[in-house]
Copies of this chain bind each other. A is one copy, B any other.
Amino acid sequence: MKGKATSLDIAHLAGVSQPTVSRALRGSPMVNEETRKRILAIAEQLNYKVDKNASNLRRQHSGTLALLFFEDPTPDESAINPFFLSMLGSITRACALRGYDLLISFQQLSNDWQADYEDSKKADGIILLGYGDYLESRGRLEKLVEQGTHFVRWGAVQPDTPGVSIGCDNTQGGHDITAHLVSQGRRRIAFLGHASNHYPEFFERYLGHRQALETAGLSADPALQVDALTTEQSGHDAATELLVRGAPFDAIFAASDLIAVGAMKALLERGLRVPDDVAVAGFDDIPLASFVNPGLSTVQQDTKRAGALLVETLLALINGEPAESQTIPVKLALRGSTAAK
């Protein structure tokens, strides 16, 4: 036999028709048990595998999901945001569990998305994972909805966002970690991270932060908010800017762990001690958070649950079942960086 075996080869060997082979292989109940066993044995022996291209073409689905991963500040570097890598792992596992393959594509938010996996029938639906200017990408989300593409997005869950989104409770997280800082005796708490609707996740964290301040009877000083994207460098720059401004502060809540780690570096370089002089908290609970010195207090996102929920929701969408945006609860992971003075 030259080349790979086909179902027709098996049919010949088993003395049945090709459709019967197809039925037996997929466990159709209407195949004689003995016939099935014979067919399975031959298939095994020939190392036969169903040709997915043929099968998919006929069945008009692919058994594959696509993960569209976009990140803007790091177009080409190998350093991908660890939080997303953790998500990647959990999404892969969730797919495998449900018998789906996962196609992966890294893209820049600023480019046109190569989101034609579904159109070209390579995937049944798309998971969008990334970080960047929401307002810039919004139009593309609308286009996906318009085209009837099946997709779920990881991000801020807001009523006016096109399509279905899964995200963590950013507001609650921002609130809780700030409340914790207050409970540790901090009063002048800076926020490092973009705080506008361009970056809804950060904005929600910021709003939660402000809520907690208000509850504590503290006011949010505009001088204590500095824009930052989710990279260490950006966090370093933001903390430096904060120091330059000169407004006193005794704590920093960074909108992501990467920002927090960069900020800690900047503080240490200026001779400030964490947490003695400045408490620092982050968001995400990336592995690095427990390794910096002191350990970084942060808001933990449940990536395992998130990955599973993204996949489940997308599959529901694909199957025409109702699917809604959902928010996942967060919890605090407290370490040395926010100890009381």
Query: Which A positions have Cβ atoms within 8 angstroms of B?
Result: 4, 47, 49-54, 56-57, 62, 64, 76, 78-80, 82, 85-86, 88-90, 92-93, 96, 101-106, 116, 119-122, 147, 261, 287-288, 291-293, 303-304
Contact = CB atoms under 8 A, between A and B. Distances in A.
Given A85-B80, A122-B101, A288-B287, A53 B49 contact: no
Given A50-B120, A120-B52, A293-B293, A78 B102 contact: no
Given A54-B121, A78-B304, A103-B104, 17 more contacts: A49-B119, A50-B120, A51-B121, A52-B121, A53-B62, A78-B86, A79-B86, A80-B85, A80-B89, A82-B82, A82-B85, A89-B106, A92-B106, A93-B106, A291-B291, A292-B293, A293-B293
A57 B56 CA distance: 10
Contacts of A102: 103-105
A162 to B, nearest CB: 17
Nearest to A58: B53
A47 B78 contact: no
Contacts of A85: 80, 82, 85, 88
For the complex formed by this chain, how many copies does it contain in all? 2
Contacts of A50: 120
A236 to B, nearest CB: 13
Given A96-B105, A101-B122, A106-B96, A53 B57 contact: yes
Nearest to A143: B47
Given A53-B62, A56-B53, A4 B106 contact: no
Given A78-B86, A86-B78, A106-B89, A49 B120 contact: yes
Contacts of A304: 78
Contacts of A90: 78
A82 to B, nearest CB: 8
Main SS class of interface, A: mixed
A67 to B, nearest CB: 8
A142 B182 CA distance: 61
A47 B101 CA distance: 25
A291 B56 contact: no
A93 B77 CA distance: 10
A113 to B, nearest CB: 13
A70 to B, nearest CB: 12
B57 A51 contact: yes
A47 B118 CA distance: 12
B119 A47 contact: yes
A49 B96 CA distance: 27
Contacts of A89: 78-80, 106
B78 A120 contact: no
Contacts of A54: 53, 57, 121
A116 B76 CA distance: 31
Contacts of A104: 92, 102-104
A56 B106 CA distance: 23
Contacts of A287: 79, 82, 288
Contacts of A86: 78-79
A288 B287 CA distance: 9
